[in-house]
Amino acid sequence: MPPPFPSFKSKEALQVLFRPSSVAVIGASTAPEKLGYQIFKNLLDAGFPGKVHPINPKAPEILGCPCYSNIDAVPDQVDLAVIIIPAPLVADTIRRCGSRGVKGTIVISGGFSETGPEGEVLQEQLVQAAQESKVAVIGPNCQGVNNPHHPLCASWPLLTRRGRVAVISQSGTVGAALMDWASQEELGVSTFVSLGNRADVDEADLIHYFAQDPNTETIAIYMEGVKAAPKFLEAVRQCQKPLVILKAGRTPKGRKAAESHTRSLAGRDEVYEGVFRQFSIHRANDLEQLYDFSKALSYLPRLKGPRLLIITSSGGSAILATDVAEMTGLDVASLPDQVAQRLREVLPKHCIVGNPLDLTGDATAQMYRQVVEAAASHFDAIALIFGDPIPGASEVVGGDPLQLVIYLGGAEVERQERLLFHRKGIPVFPTPERGIQALSHLL
């Protein structure tokens, strides 16, 4: 009896899209301003370990690599083809790829269902060609794939930092922005996939795949609509890793914009809300939350309880953190009397000993350590808000209980310390509100 939902693509079928041995770029260009040039160059510059073949019948070579007139002319076996040619030529090209033994394609080209009835016909032809040729397809109308762990940058911009979050996005720009933030913070991603129109491979296939990927701790998704509801529900039911989803198209006009962008049926938001609650999916309301929640879930342990101690050098930041903590189910519990007494004996007289505990503007990293050592056993988490230029902060954080780092107002010292934290795998959040919101998703 067939399964009650469309089956997922196999690991082997998708592996060739993310870890191929060789790649052909069909539509590679000699013009630096064209995507056919940029993607080919990014594949080379990212250090792809196998052969990369440019396909262009009008060019003898590109970036020192000999060009071939078509996929049949390439002398070696090709696993993956990146296609950047006019939409009417794509279906036949996929057929030629299939007959040549290519197992996967990434179709960057636009001009398919997102453009109207004529484009829908072209997309149906693409799907038929992929099915007949047994070729897995990402796209069309997408920004490609970047797997820094292989490394494979069949996308743009060139980013190579390896990390723990798999980014799946129906918007190339949204996904690339997330990857860029992670790269700037030296945290990186495990893989970035721009889904585009999802003619073949869809979000459910990728959730199922990355749930088994050893480099992925958390799956972050920008979604405009679900392609196949039963298959999606089965994928999230089986997934044992944290899923963070930013669902766009929540309003009537937003739904209309989603349909125009990738022909997605955005659906009623209350239905998605119910599904997210049922399957404990972390819902992000904006791009910053998608990034923050994914970062926290990938680099911090789960909370054992809600008791939170806030240590700060900034009274205002402490108030902001306390408000968000109280609104999100965390408990800014009172400091035990014996701990308060001990801290009054070692801290300067002007420090405000309570919860939040304000070390004031002349705080040092060593003072934070003294408070953590005295209070650690009484709380489930400690939020350390470094609200001034405090050198050495990255040397005093670590150990039990969970320690959340928020750093702001520290200018150049802050920027240096932030990198030192991230190189240790300790995430840093830029505001009290964003940090505490992310922490609440670890409950």
* Per-residue pLDDT at 20: 98
pLDDT digits (tens, 9 = 90+) for 69-98: 999 999 999 999 999 999 999 999 999 999
Residue 206's Cβ-count burial label (10 Å; 0-12, 13-18, 19+) is: buried
Cβ atoms of 403 and 378 closer than 8 Å: no
pLDDT at 302: 96
pLDDT at 233: 95
| The predicted structure's pLDDT at residue 2 | 55
pTM of the model: 0.94
- Residue 327: what pLDDT? 97
**Are residues 18 and 145 in contact, defined by beta-carbon separation less than 8 angstroms?**
yes
- Tell me, what's the pLDDT at 251? 85
pLDDT of residue 3: 57
Predicted pLDDT of residue 264? 63
pLDDT of residue 269: 86
Pick left, alpha or beta for residue 408 (phi over 0 → left; psi -120 to 50 → alpha; otherwise beta). beta
pLDDT computed for residue 256 by the predictor: 78
Nearest C-alpha neighbor of 436 from the set 356, 373, 369: 356
The pLDDT score that the predictor gives to residue 252 is: 81
Per residue of the chain (443 residues), what is the pLDDT tens digit?
555 667 999 999 999 999 999 999 999 999 999 999 999 999 999 999 999 999 999 999 999 999 999 999 999 999 999 999 999 999 999 999 999 999 999 999 999 999 999 999 999 999 999 999 999 999 999 999 999 999 999 999 999 999 999 999 999 999 999 999 999 999 999 999 999 999 999 999 999 999 999 999 999 999 999 999 999 999 999 999 999 999 998 888 887 787 766 666 567 888 899 999 999 999 999 999 999 999 999 999 999 999 999 999 999 999 999 999 999 999 999 999 999 999 999 999 999 999 999 999 999 999 999 999 999 999 999 999 999 999 999 999 988 999 999 999 999 999 999 999 999 999 999 999 999 999 999 99
Helix (H, G, I), strand (E, B) or coil at 360: coil
* Predicted pLDDT at 428: 98
CB count, 10 Å around CB of 257? 15
Q: From the CA atom positions of the chain, what is the Rg in Å?
A: 25
Residue type, 51: K
Alpha-carbon 243 to chain mean position: 10
pLDDT the model gives residue 255: 78
